[in-house]
Structure 1
Amino acid sequence: MNPQPPAPTCVRHPNRPTGLACTRCGRPSCAECLRPAAVGQHCVDCLRQDQRNTPRVRTVAGAPVARSPIPYITYALIVANVVIYAVTAVQSKSLVDNYYRSTFFARWMLVPDLVADGQWVRVLGAGFLHWGPIHLALNMFALWVVGRSLEPALGRTRYLAVYLVALLGGSAASMIFQDPTSAAAGASGAVYGLFGAITVLLIRVRQNPNQMLILIGINIFISFSLPGISLSGHLGGLIAGTLATLGVLFLPEWLHAKSQEAAHSIGWAAIAAVALVDLVAIGAAVASLA
Structure 2
Amino acid sequence: MDSQPGLPRCYRHPETETGISCVRCDRPICPHCMVSASVGFQCPDCVRGGSGTGHAPDANQPRTLAGGRIAADERFVTKIVIAINLMLFVAVQAVGDRLVDDLALIGYAFLPTGELVGVADGEWYRLLTSAFLHQEIPHFLFNMLGLWVIGGIVEPELGRIRYTALILLSGLSGSALAYLLSPQNQFSLGASGIVFGLIGAWVVLARRRRHDMRPVALFVALSLLLTFTRPGISWEAHIGGLVGGALVTYALVHAPKARRSLVQYTACGLVLLLDLGIVLFRSAALA
TM-score normalised according to structure 2 size = 0.76
Residues 1:105 and 2:100 are matched in the alignment: yes
What is the deviation of 1:64? 2.3
Partner of 1:161: helix, strand, or coil?
Answer: helix
State the one-letter code of the partner of 2:63: R
What is the deviation of 1:91? 1.2
State the one-letter code of the partner of 2:67: G
The equivalent of 2:152 in structure 1 is 148
The equivalent of 2:181 in structure 1 is 177
TM-score normalised according to structure 1 size = 0.75
State the one-letter code of the partner of 1:52: P
**1-side partners of 2:186 and 2:58: how far apart?**
57
Residues 1:61 and 2:58 are matched in the alignment: no
What is the deviation of 1:131? 3.1
User: Using a 3 Å threshold, how does the CA distance of structure 1 residues 269 and 53 change in structure 2: closer, same or farther?
Assistant: closer
Partner of 1:186: helix, strand, or coil?
Answer: coil
**2-side partners of 1:211 and 1:275: how far apart?**
30
8 A Cα contact 2:74 2:155, kept in partner: no
Partner of 1:183: helix, strand, or coil?
Answer: strand
The equivalent of 2:129 in structure 1 is 125
Match of 2:86 among 82, 87, 90: 82
8 A Cα contact 2:105 2:189, kept in partner: yes
The equivalent of 1:220 in structure 2 is 224
Residues 1:288 and 2:285 are matched in the alignment: yes
Which segments of 5 or more consecutive residues in structure 1 lack a partner in the other structure?
1-36, 39-46, 93-101
Match of 1:277 among 252, 274, 285: 274
Which segments of 5 or more consecutive residues in structure 2 lack a partner in the other structure?
1-37, 40-51, 110-117
The equivalent of 1:50 in structure 2 is 55
Partner of 1:111: helix, strand, or coil?
Answer: strand
Aligned length: 229
Partner of 1:61: helix, strand, or coil?
Answer: coil
What is the deviation of 1:180? 2.9
What is the deviation of 1:268? 2.1
8 A Cα contact 2:104 2:129, kept in partner: yes
The equivalent of 1:29 in structure 2 is none
**1-side partners of 2:58 and 2:197: how far apart?**
37
Paired residues for 1:135-214 under 5 Å:
135-214=139-218
Larger radius of gyration: 1
Q: Could you tell me the percent identity over the aligned residues?
A: 31
State the one-letter code of the partner of 1:196: G
- Find runs of 4+ consecutive structure 1 residues off by over 6 angstroms: none
